Amino acid sequence: MDRIQAVQALLDKIKGKTYLEIGTDYGNSFFAIHAKRKIAVDPHFKLKLKKKIKGVIVNILNFRKEMFFEVTSDDFFLNNSNLFDKNKLDVALDDGLHTYEQSLKDVLNVLKYLNNAGFIVLHDCNPESESEASHLALQSGGPWCGDVWKTIVHLRSLRSDLRVFVLDCDHGVGVVTRGKPENMLNYTPEDIRLMPYSGLEANRIKLLNLKPENFLEEFIKGVK
Ligand SMILES: C[S@@+](CC[C@H](N)C(=O)[O-])C[C@H]1O[C@@H](n2cnc3c(N)ncnc32)[C@H](O)[C@@H]1O
Average pLDDT over every residue of 190-208: 97
The pLDDT assigned to 22 comes to 98
Residue range 81-123, pLDDT digits in tens: 999 999 999 999 999 999 999 999 999 999 999 999 999 999 9
Cβ distance 84 to 111 under 8 Å? Answer: no
Position 52 pLDDT exceeds 60? no
CA dihedral 154, 203, 119, 21 (to 10 degrees): 80
What φ, ψ does residue 83 adopt, rounded to 5°?
-60, -25
* The Cα angle at residue 196 between residues 72 and 2, in degrees rounded to 5: 55
The CATH number of 3-222 is 3.40.50.150
Q: Using alpha carbons, select from 84, 45, 29, 83 the residue that is nearest to residue 54.
A: 45
Position 4 pLDDT exceeds 50? yes
CA of 173 to the centre of ligand 1 (A): 15
CA of 23 to the centre of ligand 1 (A): 3
Query: Considering the chain, what percentage of its residues have pLDDT values greater than 90?
Result: 81
Handedness of CA 57, 84, 24, 109 (dihedral sign): positive
CB atoms within 10 A of CB 11: 22
Distance in angstroms (rounded) separating the CA atoms of residues 117 and 144: 30
Q: Which of 25, 109, 120, 124 is the pocket-test mutation for ligand 1 (most atoms within 8 Å of CB)? A: 25
Distinct helix (H) and strand (E) counts, the chain = 10, 8
Gyration radius of the chain's alpha carbons: 17
Distance in angstroms (rounded) separating the CA atoms of residues 26 and 49: 10
- Whole-model pTM: value is 0.94
Query: For atom 11 of ligand 1, which residue has the closest CA?
Result: 23
H-assigned helices in 135-188: 135-140, 148-158
Average pLDDT over every residue of 36-47: 92
Q: Which of 20, 29, 38, 44 is the pocket-test mutation for ligand 1 (most atoms within 8 Å of CB)? A: 44
CA of 66 to the centre of ligand 1 (A): 17
Exposed e or buried b per residue across 104-119, where buried means at least 16 C-beta atoms within 10 angstroms of its C-beta: bbbbebbbebbbebbb
Cβ distance 41 to 69 under 8 Å? Answer: yes
Grade residue 55 by pLDDT with cuts at 50, 70 and 90.
Answer: low
Handedness of CA 71, 150, 129, 170 (dihedral sign): negative
Q: Report strand pairing: 65-69 vs 89-94.
A: unpaired
Is the Cβ atom of 16 under 6 angstroms away from ligand 1? no
Q: Which of 24, 102, 144 is the pocket-test mutation for ligand 1 (most atoms within 8 Å of CB)? A: 24
Grade residue 59 by pLDDT with cuts at 50, 70 and 90.
Answer: very low
Residue range 114-170, pLDDT digits in tens: 999 999 999 999 999 998 898 766 666 667 899 999 999 999 999 999 999 999 999
Mean pLDDT for all residues in the chain: 91
Query: Considering the chain, what percentage of its residues have pLDDT values greater than 70?
Result: 90
Is the Cβ atom of 72 under 6 angstroms away from ligand 1? yes
Domain ranges of the chain: 3-222
